[in-house]
Every structure is written in structure tokens, then in C-alpha cells.
Amino acid sequence: MAESQTTCARPDPLAEFLACAVRLADRALDQALPPDSEHPRRLHAAMRYSVFAGGKRLRPALVLAACRACGGSDDACLPAMAAVELLHTYTLIHDDLPAMDDDDLRRGRPTCHRAFDEATAILAGDALQAQAFLSVVVLGTPAVQVLGLAASSRGVVGGQQDDLDSENQAGMPPGERAAALERIHRAKTAALIRASCVLGGISAGAPAPFLAALGAYGEASGLAFQIADDVLDATASSQALGKTAGKDAAQGKCTYVAVHGLDAARAESHRQLELSLQALAPLAPHVETLAALARFMVDRDH
Amino acid sequence: MAESQTTCARPDPLAEFLACAVRLADRALDQALPPDSEHPRRLHAAMRYSVFAGGKRLRPALVLAACRACGGSDDACLPAMAAVELLHTYTLIHDDLPAMDDDDLRRGRPTCHRAFDEATAILAGDALQAQAFLSVVVLGTPAVQVLGLAASSRGVVGGQQDDLDSENQAGMPPGERAAALERIHRAKTAALIRASCVLGGISAGAPAPFLAALGAYGEASGLAFQIADDVLDATASSQALGKTAGKDAAQGKCTYVAVHGLDAARAESHRQLELSLQALAPLAPHVETLAALARFMVDRDH
């Protein structure tokens, strides 16, 4: 009996860590956001609707793991955990708008502009971006700079513009298309994942070499994650994804699969994963969770 | 001859100050923005199109006047001058969108989404907000907090939501309507004007009592300015305004004129102007330019 129980309850350290990250992130986000009883209620309700939509909290988990790897306390990184998720949520709300990707579903629920209206969704995204900066500012000016760069036209916003501009550009010369693809992936996805890892280090008061290692880890694992996402969009079902599958191909988007094919995408995703693991060397020996997180970002089914 | 020349060239100190503020602001904004030769070019072109659209640079002028009033150098406040105008421009771009005020003209030129497209306009606004925080961060964390609060759902974004929610609410009880109006004016307009004045003081390294006086001055002059704007929308021509006149009434917006009438609006605008001048007392004797700016914000024709 006892033996069988032990086998059943075999602990999965990563699952436990992720559950802990969700709990901490949700608490930090709740404290960072005005209550939806506060005026203007519709705006605050829309902000909370999108923030508390059952996300995996991957970016806050990276903040937490990076902070712990540098010897920081969980409390120290709560502002950064909230900030990266607020920023990420704002980009999702705006990306889903009719003028952009025109998505009706996000994480299996109506997107913000479908649940509320377009004006409220634009404003909810705008306010979430401001709130992200208000969250991170307690960590000092370097933290604001890291978040600002990831949020700028050289980060997520530039990546989204590139992504939209890349649609239906199948006639572009292959070399240009591959270069555009890498730019999109670095700016749209890797920039904020990189920033999350660096902010975790800043939260812990880590020295510059640690921050550089975390940045390199975040950049590579972010690329691996986005390429794995392209693979999932091409192979998984809408039900598994919680959003419309196969949309990238339908919209003629510049994905790794479209440019290089499925096999090359799987190979590159694992190559970037290896690079991210190598980048952790200066931080050893406290990197088990970061390593497990990078593997999880590649080998997932949704 | 000499006498006549002297009479003709009679200097207008405020006009000279405003021209100087435009020059300094334009230089600071040019340095704060990525060149439009940098990728993604369409995004950077849209950001620059809207930032360099011939605005009056009122908010940067307030930063400059507040900084000088506290004994700061012009160089010290360039980052704040750029930041408030970047933030202001982003709110104009988003307010003009089809889902919001649906305006085709801004400062006599096509709005950003008409000159480019809706997705690019949304992203240009998003990137300008991030760039505003990247500009102001060199002034330290209190400056980031001041800008963040003005940019948040408790500032300009909340004010815009309230403004949209107020449309066609003529049936609302008069007391509620007057309260909603004051909330809109304080959040949508006064918050960023207040922040501009405080940021000017922070740039100069001013002590807390000076920052408080600048905040009170900015709040009252911001309210005076918005009420004067309501009056202009009801009385001036589209040509004089450089945007569609009479739109507030056509959209059933909650303006001071709609709620209290034209005479009461003119009286309240001047009452707030007097409050703003009184608030400058702790800063005397270096307040001539701030006082002249407050009068200019009320007694203008466009």
C-alpha cells in the first residue's frame, strides 16, 4: 500500500514549481491591478478579464526561476513577475484585435474585444502597459530600461509589425524571408522572455555576468519556444491549443515551418534549447529549474 | 525708423518662449525616436509622422517652464519634454482610431490610421508609450512613477474610457453627469498636464513643496485648458481648429458646455485659471512664464 502510494504521488518538481509560480503570479497581479469596483469599472473589468484568463504564467515562472537561481527571495521578484505578465497580456489583447490577427478565441475564451468591445480592448491594453511600468519601477531604473526595451519598437511591438508585414510575402526571396523570420522571432517572442529572465536576476540583485547569462538563456529558450509554437500551430488541434489552429498558414504568416519546413523547425527548436542550457553554465549549480523550464517550453503539447 | 522698428519688433516673451520650447522639444523627440530608416520602417515612419505633425508642444513647454522656475537647466529637462509629448501623441493616435473617436483629421493632416493603416496606428501608439518610459527613466524612479500614474487607468486611459462611456448619456441625472464630467477632465487632460509640470520640477531637482505647487498649478491649468477646449469645439470652425469642429455635440459627448452651458464654461475656465496662478505662490518670483502659459491655455483661438 505505502509503496503504491509513493509511486502514485511521485512528485514532479517542474509541475510543482509551475503551480507555485501561478499562485505567486496571480497574487502579484491581483495586487498590481485596480479592483474592478473602481471607476472606470468597464475598463478595470476588461483588464482583469484578460489577465485572469488561465494563462500558463510562463514569463512570471521564468522571472521566479531566474531570481531563485541568483539566490533572491520569492518576495523580491513579485513586482517583476506581475510586470512581465501585464505587458504580455496587453500585447495579446492588441494582437487579437480585428485590425491585427482578428482572433475570436484566446485560451479557449472570447478575446477581450469580443467579450467587451474594441475601444475597451484597446484601452485595456494601453492601461496594462502603463501598469507594467508602474509594477517594475520599484526594482529601480535598470529594471525599467529592460522592460522598456522589450516593450518598444525594437522589441515586441516591432516584432508584431514585422509579423503583420510578413503576411502573404511567399514571393519574397528565400534569404530575405529567413532574415525577416528571425527578426520576428527575436523581437516578438524572445525579447520579452529574455527580459523576464534578466528581471528575475535584477530582482535578486545579481551581478552583471549573471544577468548576461540569464539574457543569453532567455534569448535562446525564447527562440526555441517560438519555433515550437510554429510547429504546434501546424500540427495540433484548436481544442488542444485553446485558440484557432492552422491560422498561421491560412494567413500566409512567416513561420519557421512555412520558411524551413517541419523537420528543420523541430531540429532548430532543439538546437536553440541546447544553446539555452549551455548559457546557464555561469549560474551553475542552481539551474535545474531554469533547465527544466527551457525543456518544457519546447516539448509541450499546447 | 529705429523707433518704428522697435515698435514693430516689440518682443512677445511668451511667443519667444513657446518657439524655444518647440525647438528643444523637437530636438529631444528626434533623439528619443528610432530613425525611420531602422527596421520596421513602416512602424518608425508612423511614429515620426504623428510626433512631427506640427503640434504646439504645450506639455513640453510646461515641463520647460516648470524646470526653469525651479532653477533647472534646459538640458536637464529634455528627457521629460520628450516623454510627455511621446505619451500625449500615443493617446491622440489611439483616440482617433475608428473604434474610438473615428477622426480623419488631426492638426489639419490625415490621422495616423488614415495615413498608414489601423494596425500600424495601434502599434505606433503602443511603441510611443514604451518610448515615453524609456525617455523618462534617466530622471529616476520618481519620474517613472509620475509618468506611469498619468498614463494609467487612473489617468489618461481611464479618462478616455469615461469619455467614451459618457456618450449619449444625456438622460443621466444632472448631478451624476456633472461628476462624470469632472472625472473625465481630471483624468483625460489634467493628469498629463499635471505630470508635465511635476516632471519639470523633478528634472530641476526641486524639493517636495515645489513639486506639490507645480502639481496644483498643473491640475488647475489643465482643467482650465480642457474647459476652454470644450468652448472652442462648440464655437470655432474646423479650419481654425485643424480638426473637425462640433464633433463633441454631434457625438453626444459629456463636455462642460453640454452639461453647464457656454457662459458657465467660460466662467469656470477662468476660475480654474485663477486657482492655477494662486498655486504658484510658493515658487515666486520665477513664475512669469508659467503664469503666461496658463493664460495662453485659456485664451487661445485654436
pLDDT at A6 over 80: no
pLDDT at A241 over 80: no
How many angstroms separate the CA atoms of B245 and B230, rounded? 10
pLDDT at A167: 81
CB contact under 8 A, B141 and A145: no
Is B186 part of any domain?
yes
Is B2 part of any domain?
no
Instruction: Name the grid cell of A248.
Output: 498561421
> Which chain B residues touch A157 with a CB distance below 8 Å?
43, 123, 126-127, 130
Q: A137 vs A32, A148, A195, A232, B197, CA distance in Å? A: 12, 11, 14, 36, 21
Instruction: Name the grid cell of B220.
Output: 488647475
By Cβ distance, the residue of B122, B133, B165 closest to A122 is B122
Please state which of the ranges A214-223, A251-260, B46-55, B142-151 shows the lowest mean pLDDT: A251-260
> Which chain A residues touch B164 with a CB distance below 8 Å?
119-120
Mean pLDDT (whole number) for A215-228: 98
How far A9 CA sits from the closest chain B CA (Å)?
45
CB contact under 8 A, A141 and B141: yes
pLDDT at A4: 43
Q: Looking at the 3D structure of chain B, how many domains does it have?
A: 1
> In terms of residue numbers, what domain contains A251?
14-299
> Which chain A residues touch B130 with a CB distance below 8 Å?
129, 148, 151-153, 155, 157
pLDDT at A82 over 50: yes
Q: How confident is the model at residue B247 (pLDDT cuts 50, 70, 90)?
A: confident
pLDDT at A2 over 50: no
How many angstroms separate the CA atoms of B86 and B81, rounded? 9
pLDDT at A300 over 70: yes
How far A47 CA sits from the closest chain B CA (Å)?
10
> Which chain A residues touch B94 with a CB distance below 8 Å?
122-123, 126
> B105-106 and B109-110: which strand pairing?
antiparallel
Residue A3: CB atoms within 10 Å: 7
Is A5 part of any domain?
no
By Cβ distance, the residue of B99, B123, B149 closest to A161 is B123
By Cβ distance, the residue of B122, B138, B153 closest to A34 is B153
By Cβ distance, the residue of A47, A147, A153 closest to B34 is A153
Is A224 part of any domain?
yes
Number of H helices, E strands in chain B: 17, 2
Q: How confident is the model at residue B2 (pLDDT cuts 50, 70, 90)?
A: very low
More confident residue, A192 or B238: A192
By Cβ distance, the residue of A118, A130, A154 closest to B148 is A130
pLDDT at A50 over 90: yes
Q: Which residue of A has its CA nearest to B42?
A: A161
CB contact under 8 A, B137 and A148: yes
Q: A82 vs A37, A40, A73, A220, B57, CA distance in Å? A: 20, 21, 15, 23, 34
Mutation target for B interface from A122, A131, A165, A183: give the one with most B CBs within 10 A: A122
Is A187 part of any domain?
yes
pLDDT at B134 over 70: yes
Is B288 part of any domain?
yes
Q: Which residues fall within 8 angstroms of residue A7, CB to CB, at 6 or more apart?
A: none
> Which chain B residues touch A118 with a CB distance below 8 Å?
99
Q: A33 vs A28, B22, B68, B144, CA distance in Å? A: 9, 36, 36, 17
pLDDT at B18 over 50: yes
How far B10 CA sits from the closest chain A CA (Å)?
45
Mutation target for B interface from A41, A157, A165: give the one with most B CBs within 10 A: A157
CB of A232 closer than 8 Å to CB of A261: no
Instruction: Name the grid cell of B265.
Output: 464654461
How far B191 CA sits from the closest chain A CA (Å)?
14
pLDDT at A192 over 60: yes
Share of chain A above pLDDT 70, in %: 93
CB contact under 8 A, B119 and A40: no
CATH label of the domain that carries residue A143: 1.10.600.10
How many angstroms separate the CA atoms of B261 and B256, rounded? 7
Angle between helices A262-279 and A208-235 (to 10 degrees): 160
CB contact under 8 A, B126 and A165: no
CB contact under 8 A, A158 and B127: yes
Chain mean pLDDT for chain B? 92
Is B116 part of any domain?
yes
Mean pLDDT (whole number) for B148-159: 98
Residue among A252, A153, A240 nearest B123 (CA): A153
By Cβ distance, the residue of A133, A154, A164 closest to B148 is A133
Angle between helices A156-165 and A141-151 (to 10 degrees): 0
Is B1 part of any domain?
no
pLDDT at B37: 95
pLDDT at A68 over 70: yes
Condensed to tens digits (0 to 9), the pLDDT of residues A242-268 reads 666 677 777 778 899 999 999 999 999
DSSP for chain A, please give it: -HHHHHHHT---HHHHHHHHHHHHHHHHHHHHSPPTTSSSHHHHHHHHHHHTS----HHHHHHHHHHHHTT--TGGGHHHHHHHHHHHHHHHHHHTSTTTT--SEETTEE-HHHHS-HHHHHHHHHHHHHHHHHHHGGG-HHHHHHHHHHHSTTTHHHHHHHHHHTTT-TTS-HHHHHHHHHHHIIIIIIHHHHHHHHHHHHHTT--HHHHHHHHHHHHHHHHHHHHHHHHHHHHS-HHHHTS-TTHHHHTT---HHHHH-HHHHHHHHHHHHHHHHHHTGGGTTS-HHHHHHHHHHHS---
DSSP for B161-196, please give it: HHHHHHTT-TTS-HHHHHHHHHHHIIIIIIHHHHHH
Condensed to tens digits (0 to 9), the pLDDT of residues A139-179 reads 999 999 999 999 999 999 999 999 998 886 767 888 888 98
pLDDT at A301 over 90: no
Chain mean pLDDT for chain A? 92
How far B277 CA sits from the closest chain A CA (Å)?
30
Tell me how many degrees the CA angle B296-B300-B302 measures, rounded to the nearest 5. Answer: 135
